Amino acid sequence: MPVTAVIGGQWGDEGKGKIVDALSSGADIVARYQGGANAGHTVIINDKTFILHQIPSGILHENVRCVLGHGMVIDPVSLIDEIDSLHGNGIDTTGRILLSTHAHIVTPLHRAMDRATGQVIGTTGRGIGLAYSDKARRLGIRAVDLIDAGSLGDYIRKRLKLAIDQGEITEAELPALKDDIEQFLHASNKLLEYLADTVSVMLEAIARGDSILIEGAQGTLLDVDLGTYPYVTSSSASASGIAAGLGIPARSVDRLIGIFKAYATRVGNGPFPTELEDRTGEQLQNSGAEFGATTGRPRRCGWFDAVAARYACRTNGIDEIYLSKLDVLEKFDSLKICTGYRWNGEMINDFSAAVHKLDKMEPIYEELPGWGAGVSQLTDANDLPDQAKTYIARIEELLEVPVSHVSIGAERSQILKR
Ligand code: IMP
């Protein structure tokens, strides 16, 4: 099918990078539509680890063109670093990175303000929320504005003055920002060669029937509208952001894949009903190497929450599920799946009814047997132990969506089709 989208079904970090990379072989275009350098997509190829923040994971396949859509917020310094690091690893990006002229730009001021105010939410400190906030306040700059260096300098000066006038930063912070601004102006100039009218690129590719893969960053439960507000990121991380963030019709997506981890994780603050703040949580964290790809922060871990996952399936319209990190669960003799919440003596099965008071939800669990070691060596899904098949089947039943693939290790090859 020509247009496939891959969306995170939980709080991000579901393993989208690896799956997008696997699906990218044979794609003409891989496109991102939201978020920015807050994302961290890890792909391991022949023991070499690539962590991509803004460039879609498709860049690791030589014939794929990568679109950074206008719904993204782009940090020039970080993007140039990422491009340099790809070049350093022998990856030729010539003509393969297309940055929307209308993507908004993250400036050093946004990063400084995020570092100063982001602790309550536990943001990544990458200036994402502040850049989206400037976009909504009609104070932002877009990639196209980087062309005129004089106007860009004027903009930075005016925005800094406004930030001081409005108490967003103090004058004392200005000297520390000076070097960052120099670096920003330098990187901004280097980005000019990547600017493109990505709306036309996408529309023409769709009209030709090209094979297009759309890559979501973060996850549905971090979506600014559908997620656990205010503990969310500032963009539409669910499928709802695709049309607006790329400038394509909402009906363009033919196949929507939801990526779910076989358990749950969350990085940053906010409610997490199935969180395990005990030895089991720690075991999940260590076995799953649950440390953020962007910030290195430890991820909070817990059991699979089928109430939340079902909501993600229904709101996105997910057609099929890739269940990742199944191998991590082999350390456990028995596993739990949350099938409902209890609140005030009431049973709640609908996440949408619970999302604004999620911290008060007590999870109701169903217990299933574990399956022991050896899953990561398999090459055929039919050989999965019966207990693993039962676990997957129960998830399918609760979510009412088929699990088409399971991922059983970090390598590109460790994905089994069912
Ligand atoms: P921000 O996106 O940096 O503003 O952070 C807002 C919330 O989203 C925080 O809880 C972050 O930890 C979380 N977040 C942002 N990007 C990611 C991601 O790529 N994976 C997981 N969590 C993320």
| CATH number of the domain within which 35 lies | 3.40.440.10
Q: List the domain range (segments joined by +) for residue 212.
A: 3-103+194-256
The ligand 1 atom at the shortest distance from the C-alpha of residue 270 is 10
117 and 82 share a domain? no
85 and 201 share a domain? yes
Strands (E), 80-133: 97-100, 104-105
Contacts of 311 (CB under 8 A, 6+ apart): 220, 226, 350, 351, 352, 355
Q: Residue whose CA is closest, atom 21 of ligand 1?
A: 12
Q: How far is the CA of 211 from the centre of ligand 1 (A)?
A: 29
278 and 151 share a domain? no
Q: Residue whose CA is closest, atom 19 of ligand 1?
A: 39
The CATH number of residue 373's host domain is 3.90.170.10
Cβ 361 vs Cβ 344: under 8 Å: no
Question: Does residue 91 line the site of ligand 1, with CB under 6 A?
Answer: no
248 and 172 share a domain? no
User: Residue 392 CB: number of other CB atoms within 10 A?
Assistant: 20
User: Residue 203 CB: number of other CB atoms within 10 A?
Assistant: 16
Question: Does residue 36 line the site of ligand 1, with CB under 6 A?
Answer: no
Last residue of a domain, one of 175, 192, 209: 192
pLDDT in tens, the chain (418 residues): 599 999 999 999 999 988 998 899 889 999 999 999 999 888 888 788 888 999 998 999 999 999 999 999 999 999 999 999 999 999 999 999 999 999 999 999 999 999 888 899 999 999 999 999 999 999 999 999 999 989 999 999 999 999 999 998 888 888 989 999 999 999 999 999 999 999 999 999 999 999 999 999 999 999 999 999 999 999 999 999 999 999 999 999 999 999 999 999 999 999 999 999 999 999 999 999 999 877 888 999 999 999 999 999 999 999 999 999 999 999 899 999 999 999 999 999 999 999 999 999 999 999 999 999 999 999 999 999 999 999 999 999 999 999 999 999 988 889 999 9
Q: How far is the CA of 151 from the centre of ligand 1 (A)?
A: 32
Per the residue annotation, which of 13, 21, 75, 305 is the catalytic one?
Answer: 13
Question: Does residue 124 line the site of ligand 1, with CB under 6 A?
Answer: yes
Last residue of a domain, one of 192, 221, 237: 192
Q: Residue whose CA is closest, atom 15 of ligand 1?
A: 38
Query: What pTM, to 2 d.p., does this model score?
Result: 0.96
186 and 226 share a domain? no
98 and 112 share a domain? no
74 and 212 share a domain? yes
224 and 279 share a domain? no
Assign 290 to helix, strand or coil: coil
181 and 324 share a domain? no
In the annotation, is 41 catalytic? yes
In the annotation, is 319 catalytic? no
Cα angle 98-127-221, degrees, rounded to a multiple of 5: 85
398 and 321 share a domain? yes
Q: How far is the CA of 39 from the centre of ligand 1 (A)?
A: 7
21 and 89 share a domain? yes
Last residue of a domain, one of 170, 192, 214: 192
Rounded to 5, what percent of the chain is helix, strand, coil?
40, 20, 35
Q: Residue whose CA is closest, atom 5 of ligand 1?
A: 123
252 and 328 share a domain? no
